[in-house]
Amino acid sequence: MPTCPGQVRAVIWGTYDLGKPRTRILIRGLREAGVDLAECHAEVWAGVEDKAHSNRWAILGRMARMLAAYPGLIWRYLRAPSHDVVIVGYLGHLDVLMLWPFARLRGIPIVWDAFLSLYETVVEDRAMLRPRHPVARLLWAWDWLACRAADLVLLDTAAHARWFETSFGLPAGRTASLFVGAEPGSFAPLPERGSRRPGQPCRVLFYGQFIPLHGIETIVEAAARSDPNSLAWTIIGTGQEASRIRERLAARPVPHLTWIDWVPYAELREQMAEADICLGIFGESGKAARVIPNKAFQVIAAGRPLVTRESPAMREWIGDGARGVRLVRAGDADALLAGIRDLVASGEMEPDAGSFERLRSQIGPDSIGRSFKDLIMSLPIRDGNSARKLKATSP
């Protein structure tokens, strides 16, 4: 029970990945919203950028580290001070199952930041397994069971939350959504670029892991079809589709495209500072339509024009449109080029402050933290055999 009206005490528990902005933003946001948040954490994901693309032995090694960490984590949880809710962060599919009996023992509701489905990511989005493969069936069952261990399943968009409800048979109200957002310290607004010199090409930037959701082949094809005197392209990243893209570029070089394998997270803003337009994602999968990538939030936070695919998820944030943003048809190189050309011709290369401030106001840790606190305060909190809602004690 809260010690004073409106106070929320929470524990975030498990092997959550602090290397991901999502987790860091949720933690910071809750604390900025006044939540008394204790961390009960074991680090097992350090240095892993793409979990789904890890080899079998690496995955088994991480699983072994997780299993070894659980006795200590459980002991620490059982000794944790009284709290109103326990949060399981990304990637918590095993964490939530391990925690479930002990949270029930203490009568504490679980909020699980699922963030993604193992089945959807490995089978539908990455196409690494056939749907009827035994491991694919196991992943679906794992998702299904993990959802039922949580009192609230948190996703990144309402579209993604609806998909979870439909796919895993969850009742209405069992899911909720919070945008991923952007870290303001890493993606503070950049100064205006100013006018390009006559004859200088417009600089287009993409960065990210080369996974199908990103539609990197569409980006490379658009670059190949563009005028080298008008557009200069930079792509930063590597991953699942990197070998295929290298083969494509070796067979059909694109001289005005520069490929950098990777840059540190802390240097991404510097790369944006050199760009005129930044790109989001262009994949055609169902998941690509249901999520908003980190990079889209980061580009808007930094104040650079954005071109990305049209999707229900993007409409949740962008609404009917915003100056300096173009939403284009997925998987269509010509549509991507048309979006870039339209931005250049429109005079929107320096978006007005009002337009981007509206978008930024929804994606900072402060805004996300307040929304997360509201979700927590709507949960039924168990006191012995009775239940109440934490929000009933709010001012």
The domain spanning residue 99 has which CATH number? Answer: 3.40.50.2000
Both 350 and 371 in one domain: the answer is no
Residue 50 lies in a domain: yes
The arithmetic mean of pLDDT across residues 205-216, rounded, is 96
Cα-to-chain-centroid distance, residue 347: 30
pLDDT at 393: 40
> Over 80: is that where the pLDDT of 55 sits?
no
Both 88 and 20 in one domain: the answer is yes
Both 27 and 111 in one domain: the answer is yes
- Comparing 198-212, 267-281, 346-360, the range with the smallest average pLDDT is 346-360
User: Taking the CB of residue 60, how many other CB atoms lie within 10 A of it?
Assistant: 11
What's the CA gap between 301 and 12, in Å, rounded? 27
pLDDT at 350: 76
Report pLDDT digits (tens) over 293-315.
Answer: 999 999 999 999 999 999 999 99
Report pLDDT digits (tens) over 232-261.
Answer: 999 999 999 999 999 999 999 999 999 999
| pLDDT band, residue 347 (cuts 50/70/90) | confident
pLDDT at 386: 36
Residue 342 lies in a domain: yes
Both 24 and 173 in one domain: the answer is yes
What's the CA gap between 31 and 254, in Å, rounded? 47
Assign 3-state DSSP to the chain and report helix, strand, coil percentages, each to 5.
45, 15, 40
User: Taking the CB of residue 188, how many other CB atoms lie within 10 A of it?
Assistant: 12
Both 163 and 42 in one domain: the answer is yes
Total domain count for the chain? Answer: 2
Both 379 and 319 in one domain: the answer is no
Both 287 and 381 in one domain: the answer is no
Which secondary structure element, helix H or strand E, spans residue 159, and what is its range?
helix 158-168
Print the domain residue range for 131: 9-181+364-393
Q: Are 111 and 85 in contact (CB under 8 A)?
A: yes
Residue 144 lies in a domain: yes
pLDDT at 355: 74
Residue 1 lies in a domain: no
What's the predicted TM-score (pTM) here?
Answer: 0.91
Its sign, for the CA torsion 51, 56, 59, 63, is positive
The arithmetic mean of pLDDT across residues 144-163, rounded, is 98
Residue 193 lies in a domain: no
User: Taking the CB of residue 191, how many other CB atoms lie within 10 A of it?
Assistant: 7
Both 304 and 159 in one domain: the answer is no
Residue 188 lies in a domain: no
Q: What integer best gives the mean pLDDT of the chain?
A: 91
> Over 50: is that where the pLDDT of 275 sits?
yes
Report pLDDT digits (tens) over 169-184.
Answer: 999 899 999 999 999 9
> Over 80: is that where the pLDDT of 46 sits?
no
Residue 127 lies in a domain: yes
Both 140 and 227 in one domain: the answer is no
Which residues have CB under 8 Å from 61's CB, separation 6+? none
pLDDT at 191: 87
pLDDT at 49: 59
Both 348 and 376 in one domain: the answer is no
Tell me the Ramachandran region of residue 331: left when phi exceeds 0, alpha when psi lies from -120 to 50, beta otherwise: left
Both 355 and 371 in one domain: the answer is no
Residue 126 lies in a domain: yes
Burial of 132 (0-12, 13-18, 19+ CB in 10 A): exposed
pLDDT at 61: 78
Both 273 and 335 in one domain: the answer is yes
